[in-house]
């Protein structure tokens, strides 16, 4: 089954000092997804206060499960939107 691309757009909802406590677990989570062979990129906006994770999943249900397991979401540090992203010029 071909993987689809999904985007989690997030906004921090706790003070930075609290948010930063979950960042190492989030980074470890991203590395674990990559180790499992999944394409995933995660980062934050230069002006701070939010970020984005672009990742592969087979379905919206799988994408929702990946997001629900993210330590930033589990700890209540972010509010997010989840979208399937359809590239108009896919890589060949």
For residue range 55-74, what is the model confidence (pLDDT) as tens digits? 999 999 999 999 999 999 99
Structure token digits, residue 73: 């979401």
- The predicted model gives 35-60 an average pLDDT of 93
> Is there a contact between 6 and 65 (Cβ–Cβ < 8 Å)?
no
CA atoms of 47 and 30, how far apart (whole Å) = 22
- For the entire predicted model, the pTM comes to 0.90
Give the count of beta carbons closer than 10 Å to the beta carbon of residue 25. Answer: 14
Question: Tens digits of per-residue pLDDT, 20-30?
Answer: 999 999 999 99
Q: List the domains of the chain with CATH numbers.
A: 4-85 (3.30.70.1060)
């Amino acid at each position: 089954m071909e993987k689809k691309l999904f985007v989690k757009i997030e906004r921090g909802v706790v003070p930075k000092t609290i948010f930063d406590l979950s960042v190492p677990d989030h980074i470890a989570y991203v590395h674990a997804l990559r180790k499992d062979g999944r394409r995933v990129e995660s980062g934050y906006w230069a002006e701070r206060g939010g970020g984005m994770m672009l990742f592969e999943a087979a379905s919206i249900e799988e994408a929702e499960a990946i997001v629900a397991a993210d330590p930033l979401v589990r700890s209540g540090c972010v509010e997010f939107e989840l979208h399937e992203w359809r590239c108009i010029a896919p890589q060949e």
